[in-house]
Amino acid sequence: MNVIPALIGFSEKNGQWFAEGVSLAQLAKDFGTPLYVYSKEAICSAYRAYDAACIRPNGTRRARIHYAMKANSNLAVLDELKQLGAGFDLVSGGELARALHIGADPKSLVFAGVGKSSLEIEDALRTGVKCINVESIPELHRINTIAKKLGLRAPISLRVNPDVDANTHPYISTGLKDNKFGIAYHEVLKTYREAALLSHIDVVGIDCHIGSQITNASPYLDALDKVLDLITQLQREGILIHHLDLGGGLGIDYGSDAPPNITEFTNLLLNRVEERGYGNLEVLLEPGRSLVGNAGVLLTEVEYLKTGSDKNFCIVNAAMNDLMRPALYEAYHAIVPTQTSNVSPRLYDVVGPVCESGDWLGKDRMLAISEGDVLAILSAGAYGFVMASNYNTRGRAAEVMIDGNQAFLVRERETVSSLYEKERTLNK
């Protein structure tokens, strides 16, 4: 089975696949493989679908988009989203540095993450980020101590763990009580009371994120209602909340998924906020995958076609170190030849050269291919390159962004020598 998702920016015409106006087969010739290819058009289209729900008919804004850059942190991707007006959701000091490098306004940055180091907290406070999302009571006290040392006040929100089942893969579920993320729902009120009394803490918001690749709006609404109930209780106690951070996690179509329409989904959430009487509250949305997932593909070349009595293997030059999702989550990605062939189709497992049985990219795919053909692994724009590694001393892929009929190399391919240039032996 090889189910093809609906895509913007990528299309098949007369037996060839294109990224906007550029042939994928030609990109493979020009830049080599493995190669990540991103469509600027697809990124912009997804962003505008969110933004359409964030603007009221009278032109006023009712929500702001903060891109969850862990999905894809290439500088070109970040810069395009910044140009569109996005802020950023960060989960590490490295992501903070990337956002600042492309000129992001510090007040457009929200620093999240369950295990922030003291150095990361200090950098965030010195930078003047909009907010630090607190995930535990010990972290709250550490932030207060560091802010006091720096002579600064720390703007914080608490990340609420609402104990809502997002009905997604357990590895990417974050809103259940047995997940490591956030403050347990029954502890949130007392933690806010504690935070309000700390000398160098400014309570500014409340945050909730329940998981990733969610294709049903019901868990979002359940979590939202629980968080709005908390805001009501906090206001009664004189603890004012200035912004509500709804997180991200909306899924995409990998081929057989049916996520809600982005604009309709966003309207559903924002309308619920207004129906509950919080229309004047600043709302933050933090989409990641749904902005970039279907805006990228991974190109790879067929090295060998290995036939067997039980299985046929299509061995390609991309591997689990290039795209980890299939090995990690048993995730599905559609795989298509970039050019049609006259050979008879066969059923293959598409596998890589890494020395692991888990190194597969697609199972039981009907493909008409020959050795030397270039395949496109679709829907690879999110959690693709950012999760790549150098396992087996393999350099990470190059990255290209397409704008109309032009291809721009936005990250050079790693060379093998660059992988060990900072290593030392004892005998030199």
CATH classification for the domain delimited by 63-287, as one of 3.30.200.20, 3.20.20.10, 3.40.50.1360, 3.90.1660.10 = 3.20.20.10
Confidence band of 230 (pLDDT split at 50, 70, 90): very high
Residue 365 pLDDT greater than 90, yes or no: yes
Residue 378, pLDDT above cutoff 90: yes
User: What residues act catalytically?
Assistant: 355
Mean pLDDT over residues 158-182, rounded? Answer: 61
Pull the structure tokens for residue 256.
């057989």
Instruction: Flag whether pLDDT at 176 surpasses 90.
Output: no
Tell me, what's the pLDDT at 166?
A: 52
Q: Do domains 10-39+293-420 and 63-287 have the same CATH topology?
A: no
Average pLDDT, the chain: 93
What crossing angle do the helices spanning 188-197 and 218-236 adopt, rounded to 10°? 40
Is pLDDT at 170 greater than 60 in this prediction? no
Read off the pLDDT of each residue in 313-336 and give the average, rounded to a whole number.
96
pLDDT reported for residue 352: 98
Q: Is 330 exposed, middle or buried (0-12, 13-18, 19+ CB in 10 A)?
A: exposed
pTM, two decimals, is: 0.94
Tokens 């989960």 belong to 91
Residue 417 CB neighbour total at 10 angstroms: 8
Torsion over CA of 378, 92, 182 and 175, rounded to 10 degrees? 0
Q: What is the pLDDT of residue 167?
A: 55
By CB neighbour count within 10 A (0-12 exposed, 13-18 middle, 19+ buried), where does 276 fall?
A: middle
Q: What is the pLDDT of residues 24-79, one digit of tens each?
A: 999 999 999 999 999 999 999 999 999 999 999 999 999 999 999 999 999 999 99
To the nearest whole percent, how much of the chain has pLDDT over 70?
96
pLDDT of residue 180: 58
Rounded CA separation 63/94 (Å): 26
Q: How far is CA 84 from the centre of its chain?
A: 17
Beta bridge partners of 376: 299, 336
Eight-class DSSP state of 408: E
Q: Where exactly are the structural domains of the chain?
A: 10-39+293-420, 63-287
pLDDT at 173 (0 to 100): 42
Q: Is 376 helix (H, G, I), strand (E, B) or coil?
A: strand
CA 266-267-270 angle, to 5 degrees, is 85
Distance CA 113, CA 111 (A): 7
Neighbours of 131 (CB within 10 A): 24
Q: How far apart are CA 90 and CA 111, in angstroms?
A: 5
Cis bond before residue 287 (omega within 30° of 0): no
Place of tokens 């060379």: 415
56-70 confidence digits (pLDDT tens): 999 999 999 999 999
Q: What average pLDDT does this structure show over 328-342? A: 95
Domain 10-39+293-420 bears CATH identifier 2.40.37.10: yes
| DSSP category for residue 214 | B
pLDDT in tens, 239-293: 999 999 999 989 999 998 889 999 999 999 999 999 999 999 999 999 999 999 9
